[in-house]
């Protein structure tokens, strides 16, 4: 059912409405809105999540205007025509019309708009009739090219993707070059350079995905690591973060694939060197199915670890040979402490790569992490990502990386180049204040 929220009564202060269309986009938008709040108390901020009900906004005191509704597809209608059909049956057309009416009313009352995501919120921003900015999270020129030129593609259909000279299609570029579009914030410097060729007001200020990743200081010790660590196990330990994704039921199927890779590593090295696996579990996932699958793969529950910064409380520790696997929601700490990622996720994989580390990915059944999505992620993230078709082949891939320090150094530099450094949300907020003529203070 479409949920209609009461209209926000606008004041004489500058008003900004943020449009976003997805879980990750909501989080990026929230970071920018919070940075705007820090810059000016006179700004009146509101949000309209085009996909979902905007839980991030609600939790942080950002009012939501207009109609909101969770759709069956979860926002992945572009990946499967059947998902689109389900959304249409669930009231997608009525929801869209109501939301378009809201953005038009916002503009008529003198507000400005910030679109975060892809062409959908960008089109909504243009439709509003207001001045607008755009944070492009979905597309990067790295999908088609790198600094040396076009990427090789196998089929004529794939090569056709570059027909317009950019990953952004002509109608998307028209929306970004429109006189009312005052600022565009692409993901990376390469994309900024290409967009500027069409007179688009593009700025290279970094990627907000890399904001808010500071570790809490959580440390995990393995059962094999004694207090004095007489054998130096801590020094030779390899740590992997497991990223199965955040959306059920897909994440549970991805979890089984990742555990196949884990088993291959344990069988190869479990008696030779200590291995630690940190499973970064999203809050919306039920840990019970994850535990059952672990038990099916021979893992036994051996204890728990208390983390005061983890709202879920105790974290479960599983053991097998000289190996430990910890189920935890301490996401940031997992990313920082891991040497490698075994990943079947979108944003989380990009964030890990942005920290300068190698990710190994496996194709799944979807709806998000399909073989097509995984292949596209290798283009987006370049040498930082290795696509492995069969989880059993993981050992040779990790061994190859460990024996190639030059490649690891290249991966470190590549991550910073493609994902940027932290602080992007604040830089974008400062630019928006200037470009949209918003008052500070």
pLDDT of residue 226: 38
The predicted-structure confidence for 123-171, as pLDDT tens digits, reads as follows 999 999 999 999 999 999 999 999 999 999 888 877 888 899 999 999 9
Strand locations in 188-253, DSSP E? 238-243
pLDDT over 90 (residue 79): no
| Nearest Cα to Cα of residue 350 among 319, 313, 377 | 377
pLDDT of residue 10: 45
Mean per-residue pLDDT over the chain, rounded: 87
Least confident window among 52-56, 349-353, 385-389, 417-421 = 52-56
Between residues 425 and 218, the one the model is more confident about: 425
Residue 362: exposed, middle, or buried by beta-carbon count in 10 A (0-12, 13-18, 19+)? Answer: buried
**Could you tell me the pLDDT band of residue 84, with boundaries at 50, 70 and 90?**
low
pLDDT of residue 81: 52
pLDDT of residue 95: 80
Strand locations in 111-236, DSSP E? 112-117, 132-136, 145-146, 149-150, 181-185
- Burial 71-98, CB ≥16 within 10 A → b, else e: bbbbbbbebeeebbeebeebebeebeeb
d(CA 272, CA 224): 12
| Nearest Cα to Cα of residue 283 among 305, 313, 321 | 313
**Could you tell me the pLDDT band of residue 77, with boundaries at 50, 70 and 90?**
very low
The predicted-structure confidence for 292-319, as pLDDT tens digits, reads as follows 999 999 999 987 765 554 444 468 999 9
pLDDT of residue 42: 80
Highest mean pLDDT among 92-106, 226-240, 291-305, 353-367: 353-367
pLDDT of residue 155: 84
- Provide, rounded to the nearest whole percent, the portion of the chain with pLDDT above 90: 70
């Amino acid at each position: 059912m479409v949920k209609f929220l009461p209209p926000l009564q606008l004041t004489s202060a500058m008003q900004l409405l943020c449009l976003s269309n997805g879980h990750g986009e909501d989080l990026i938008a929230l970071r920018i809105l919070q940075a705007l709040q820090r810059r000016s108390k006179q700004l009146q901020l509101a949000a309209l999540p085009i996909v979902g009900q905007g839980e991030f906004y609600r939790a942080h005191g950002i009012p939501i205007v207009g109609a909101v509704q969770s759709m069956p597809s979860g926002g992945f209608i572009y990946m499967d025509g059947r998902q689109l059909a389900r959304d249409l049956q669930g009231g997608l057309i009525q929801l869209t019309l109501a939301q378009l009416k809201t953005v038009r009313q916002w503009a008529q009352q003198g507000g400005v708009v910030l679109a975060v995501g892809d062409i959908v919120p960008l089109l909504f921003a243009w439709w509003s009739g207001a001045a607008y900015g755009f944070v492009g999270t979905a597309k990067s020129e790295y999908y088609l090219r790198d600094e040396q030129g076009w990427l090789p593609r196998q089929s004529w259909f794939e090569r056709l993707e570059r027909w317009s000279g950019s990953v952004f299609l002509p109608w998307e570029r028209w929306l970004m070059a429109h006189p009312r579009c005052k600022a565009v914030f692409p993901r990376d410097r390469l994309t900024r350079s290409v967009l500027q060729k069409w007179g688009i007001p593009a700025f290279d200020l970094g990627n907000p995905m890399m904001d808010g990743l500071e570790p809490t200081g959580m440390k995990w010790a393995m059962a094999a690591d004694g207090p004095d660590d007489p054998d130096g196990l801590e020094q030779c330990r390899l740590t992997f973060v497991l990223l199965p994704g955040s959306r059920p039921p897909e994440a549970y199927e991805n979890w089984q694939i990742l555990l196949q890779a884990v088993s291959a590593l344990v069988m190869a090295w479990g008696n030779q060197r200590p291995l630690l696996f940190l499973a970064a579990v999203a809050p919306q996932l039920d840990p019970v199915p994850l535990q059952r699958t672990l038990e099916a793969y021979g893992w036994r529950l051996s204890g728990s670890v208390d983390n005061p910064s983890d709202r879920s409380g105790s974290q479960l520790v599983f053991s097998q040979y000289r190996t430990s696997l910890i189920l935890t929601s301490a996401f940031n700490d997992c990313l920082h402490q891991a040497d490698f990622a075994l990943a079947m996720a979108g944003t989380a994989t990009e964030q890990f790569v942005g920290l300068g580390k190698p990710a190994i990915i496996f194709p799944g059944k979807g709806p998000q992490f399909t073989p097509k999505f995984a292949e596209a992620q290798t283009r987006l993230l370049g040498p930082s990502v290795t696509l492995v078709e069969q989880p059993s082949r993981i050992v040779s891939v990790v061994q190859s990386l460990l024996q190639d320090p030059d490649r690891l150094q290249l991966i470190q530099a590549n991550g910073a180049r493609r994902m940027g450094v932290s602080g992007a949300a604040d830089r974008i907020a400062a630019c928006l204040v200037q470009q949209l003529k918003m008052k500070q203070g």
